[in-house]
Structure formats: C-alpha cells, structure tokens
Structure 1
Amino acid sequence: MTAATPLVHTRSAVAEFTIRDVIEGQTAGQLIVAADDWGWWATLLGGNTIVPTTGIQQAVAVGLVRAGFLVRRNHSYHLTHTGHDVGKNRGFVRCAVRGWEPTFRKLSEAALDEFIPAATEPGEVARACTDIARRRPEIFAGIGAAIAADETPGCTIDLGCADSGRVQALAAIAPHERFLGVDIEAEVIDEATTVLAGLGLTDRVTLLAGSVQPEAEPPAWLARVDRDSVTTAMSFFLLHQLASDGAGIAAVLRGWMEWFPNVRRLVIGDGYLLEADQWTQQPWFSPTYEIYHTITGVQLWTQQEYEAAFAELGWSVTRRMEDHTMLVTTVLERG
C-alpha cells in the first residue's frame, strides 16, 4: 500500500506553548483523573453537584476551581462551560496522564534506541478507551440502531474490547443481539467479566482473552467461538497498531473476514494521521497521539489509506462519524 499525504491543519496565527502550560497542564491532568476516580465528572455531567467531605477532596476541588473547571456556590461545586468540556473528554486525559505515562517515562533511558516498546497501564488504557468511545453517545446510538435493525439477530464481536464498556452500551440498545469481546489483556478481561456478571449480562455477552492479530495460525480463543454466527465485527483504537505490526490495514481486515465468513458489517473507530509543523496547528490530542506512536514504532495511517483498504476488500461506507477531526468511526457494509 502506498503512503498517502496526511491531512494538514493550520491556523493563521500559531500560538506557542509556555513553561506555565507545561507545569500547570501536568497538575491539572492529575487533578482531572483523580476527580474522575472519585466519580465527580459523572456526577457533574449528570446535572448534580459535588460536596467535598475531606481535606484532600477540598484541595482538589479548589484546584479545579482555580483552573476554571468548577465554580463554587455555597458549599457545593458546579461545572463551568470549560469544565463540561473537560468532563466529556476525561478519557483522553486519562490515556495521556495515566495510561501512557510509563512509556514516556522511559524516554530518558532510551536516547540510543530506535523505538521504545510500549509500557502502558492496561487498566487505565482500557478505561480511557471506553470513555473516549462513549463521550459521543449519538455515535453509539447509531451503531446500536443499525445492529438492532437487522432482520435476523446475530452476534457482534468487539475485537480489542478493553473493559467491555462499548459492548455493555450496545447490548442495551440491541437487546436481541449476542455479543463477544476479545482483548489481549487477560486481567482486564477477568475484571470486566466480573462486572458483566453483576449486571446480569453474561447470558448475552461473552468475553475472551487473546490476540486479535491475524497470524498464520488462528488464535486459541477462536476455537471457542461460533464463527459463522458473527455478522458484525467492531474494532476501536486498535487497527492502526495491528496494521503497523502486520502487513497493512487490508491484511488485518482480510484476516478477520476469513475468521468470520458471514460478517456483513464492520465498525472501525480509529485515529487518523494528521500532521503540522507545530503542535498548536493540530487538533487537540493529535500531537500526543502522534508522538506516542512515533516513539513506540507504530505507524499511523491517513484517511486515504483506510478508505483505499475498505474499497479493496469490497466494503462500502454507509456512515462516517467524526469526533474532533482526528478520531473517526466508520460503519461499512459488504457491497
């Protein structure tokens, strides 16, 4: 596959980062994730207020006020407009501040290395991926509606399911569909399975641990699956890495099509490669996404490359949903 020119986003006046942005940004990121671990953002986005009950909580709340994310009224705290944006996008913050931090920390010892093997916090990355995917509920409503509208219910598989948050959301929208989730992180799968049991979903949702990278030999988990029953295959935030490790986007998709001969719908959510001379010329989070993958040796792909692979394999785009420019969910049907 030939490389296509990446999209370039420019602004008439290019801002510069300052040392204040660097230091206070790091502090704000830690406060945002701590507040999320306490459930504050979910509470606030639900239209309720928070009331800190300890000294530590008070310190974090005051910090979030001074950052412009919260406002205090009497003893309770409310979201500001910017705080609402922060709460909706906390998954991206978690990914950078907690999930990818161990990889960035290794840079100091890697000056002579070509790449740094990714060293992530799997649970943090899994939760971040689910938060990112669910920040736009209308996207999942569209996917779920398409699945629910099938004349004959089938099985939907989430390849790289993380903590199963996406599957849980879709199971509520398409109540007659069965779901499979597969992820390489066995501990994440174990924890998610416990959550599913508590929700009473284990009769419709099955989670399995293993790789979803097509290889010469099929993965062991595939022997436990009714492959003919899978009619929808999904993957979010993973295809770029599998394509980089393998032989490109089309090769990965072709492998999945061989695994599931009756698949008639693909849902691919992934980040496009967007470049610019300065970070401030790119959509937010795009620079972090780009440099993380550059230092770990993972290739990112342009919109043209994704669409060329889809067309090569006979898939037609039925819906394309863009999330802050670089993150795109594409629903495809067989022609």
Structure 2
Amino acid sequence: MILGVNLNHDYAYCKIDGDNIYLLEMERHSRIRHHWNKESYTLAILDDLSVEELKNTETIYLNSPNMDQIEEKGGNLSSLKREYHYRGDYLTLDNNSGLSHGKLEVEGIEIDCTWVSHYHAHAASSFFTSSYDQADILCIDGGGDFGLGAWFYGDKTAINLKSRYLDCQLGLSYHEFSKNVFNVQGRGFYESKVMALAGFGKREKSANKFLKADSTLNDMSAYNKISVHDIAQFQHDFEQGIVDLILKDKKNDYLCCAGGCFLNVSLNRELVERGLYKGIWIPPYTSDMGIAIGCALYAYIDCKGELPPSTLLKNPYLGDHLSVSLEKIKSIIEKSGEEYELHT
C-alpha cells in the first residue's frame, strides 16, 4: 500500500492499494468547506488505518506548508489517538527535486517517508494523470512552500522544475480581492463568488485598475465601491496575467494545469480559446485535494518505476462505493418530481 497526504486545508489522503486508487478528503465527511483546523497539520487522517495496514504500507509521501513548524517540533505529527514522528531531511528552497527523504515512526513501525514540495505535488496530480508524454505544467494558487506558483516541464515519469514564482501574486491577489469585495476579515474563500459576478459585468464600463504590473493588488481602501464592471475588469486582467506567464515559457504542444486558480472556469475557457496548445488538461481535483493524489503518484513511481495503469487515473470518483441501490436512488429522485436518466 502507498499513501500520499496533504496536511493543510483540503485535508486529504490518497491510497494506492493493488488495483485501487482511493481518495479520502475530510470535507466530504465533516461538511466543513476545505476542512481546515488544527488536526489538518497532523496525521490524524491516518488514525483509522489498522496496525496491519500500517505494516503493509510501503511508503508515505507528505506535503504541508507548515513543514518548518513540524521541523521545529522535532517531526512530531501526532494526533490525539496516535503518535507519529518523522525522522529525516526537510525540503529547502534550493532543492529543485522537490523531494526529501526520511522515516515515519508509528505504533513501533518504521515506514519510508518523503516530503514533497507543494508545487511538485500539484504538478504530479495533473501531468501524471494526463495522457501526454511531454507537456508544460503551470501551477498557480494563493501560495505554498517556496512561492506562489511554479512552471515545470513534464516528460513521461519525470517532472522538471523550470522556475518558481516567488513574486508573482496573481492567485494571492485574486484571494485578497475577493475578501475585499465581500468585506471579509480572517479566513475564508470567496473566489468563486467573484468569478460568478464577473460574468454579469462589462469591463469596458470600468475605469478602475486593481492589479499592478507586477500582479500585486492596489490598495483597496482607495475604492469606495466596487461594481460588477470592476470585477469583470479584474477578471480580465487576472486572465491576461496567466496568459503572459504561459507565453514567456511555453515549450511543448500540451499544457497541464494545477492549483486553485484553475477552478476559475472563465480563465480555463480563455486558455482554450486562445489556441496556444493542442490540448490542455485540468484535472477535477486541481485544488489542494489533488496534492494528496500527486504525492501518492510520486510515491508509486518511486516504488514501482512506472505510473499506475492509465485506466485507474481517468476516474475522478476515488472514494467509497455507493452504499445504496440504484432503486433507492430512483425512488428519491421520483419523490422530488425531477426527471432523470440513470446509467450503470
């Protein structure tokens, strides 16, 4: 058994066991959007694994933006139920491989364990699940370890770092702009609402510019009121910023994308309509839940020297099997009065 874990918001693990790939994302169980609390920075998500399952685990690949804090705590990843301790190396900015190796100690068992850089894991979740042998890989979000995005070149089972985006703040600016539009303090994700509102605006009716040339956000206190036309203008400038990144480093005929910015449907449509690539792959788990999948695929290649069968990677339904019958589902839909067509 092979495990990949994302210790952050979108707390999740991916398990590859024989012919099965399974994703457990905690928000599906807790109903807490992006599931983000103290346990998300421990290995509590593995507490339900039996000792026998832990013994049969070949390796665990981990990602966390708080890796430096974990190092300060001596590698302590313990939950309330179990003690987990990592012993080994940690990632640094000059480690372009994006991997550092060690051991995880749990229940008297020692398991090979590896840290994966945030953007290497994002890149793996996209490129390794695509059908491309070679591709450009663009990762952009609100921030991870060592930057706010990265550009890679993918080649079969290898991902090669071209550049880290240490100063490009497109994703972070979108996040902060969204919070300002809704006057939100503290944590929260409101990007989807801004994306939706942009569709109601006409950017030519806006006289404002919110993004600076370096992709940072202007001082939002200077704007008394933000209209849907302003939001449409911001969306356009954000999309153009992403296109500019692509034009700078484009090398291959195909593009793989990952990171929260590619939950933006308008951006994705713009990339397709620009015709810059023969094909573009954006997986359904492009947000941080995909980090766990990327970690697990890195681990699989490390153990097996190849990717899992492609048929396993094409299905986005990587969770529990349905516990109710199709007849039960039909009866629920019929009671609602909705029309339906079910395919088995």
| TM-score, normalised by the number of residues in structure 2 | 0.28
Name the structure where strand makes up a greater proportion of residues: 2
Name the structure where helix makes up a greater proportion of residues: 1
| TM-score, normalised by the number of residues in structure 1 | 0.29
